[in-house]
């Protein structure tokens, strides 16, 4: 089970459940992949709805990497994400939100 207090979100990739977590290293990886000038700019980009499928894949790959997954964005782009693009975008948004907010549970 994903621990919201640790900023974790679950994602099913190729039939296997994985945890995602945006560690500081994963955030650096994400900033570089998306050429974001700052964390604030990155969050604003997603909040404003100005993101692409490539951005979602980069965010999910960074979160998976932060939780120990050894694949990369290209592997994820070729993978089957349970729930398809809608679930991928929802999980990405939840991951970003949990990384920067205290959960209300």
Q: What is the pLDDT at residue 59?
A: 94
Domain span holding position 59: 4-100
What distance in Å separates the CA atoms of residue 40 and residue 43, rounded to the nearest whole number?
5
For 101, phi and psi rounded to 5 degrees?
Answer: -140, 155
Percent helix, strand and coil across the chain, each rounded to 5?
Answer: 55, 10, 30
What distance in Å separates the CA atoms of residue 43 and residue 1, rounded to the nearest whole number?
25
Q: What is the pLDDT of residues 2-61, one digit of tens each?
A: 888 888 999 999 999 999 999 999 988 888 888 888 888 888 888 887 788 999 999 999
Indicate whether 54 belongs to any domain: yes
Locate the DSSP E strands across 1-105.
9-13, 16-20
Indicate whether 105 belongs to any domain: no
Among residues 91, 105, 77, the alpha carbon closest in space to that of 20 is found at: 91
Q: What is the pLDDT at residue 3?
A: 87
Domain count, the chain: 1
Q: What is the pLDDT of residues 58-83, one digit of tens each?
A: 999 999 999 999 999 999 999 999 99
């Amino acid at each position: 089970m994903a621990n919201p207090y640790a900023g974790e979100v679950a994602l099913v990739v190729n039939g296997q459940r994985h945890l995602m977590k945006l560690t500081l290293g994963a955030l650096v990886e994400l900033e570089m992949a998306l050429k974001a000038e700052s964390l604030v700019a990155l969050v604003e980009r997603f909040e404003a709805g100005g993101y692409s499928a490539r951005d979602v894949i980069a965010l999910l790959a960074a979160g998976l990497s932060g939780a120990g997954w050894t694949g990369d964005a290209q592997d994820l782009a070729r993978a089957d994400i349970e729930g398809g693009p809608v679930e991928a975008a929802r999980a990405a948004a939840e991951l970003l939100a949990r990384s920067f907010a205290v959960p209300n549970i």
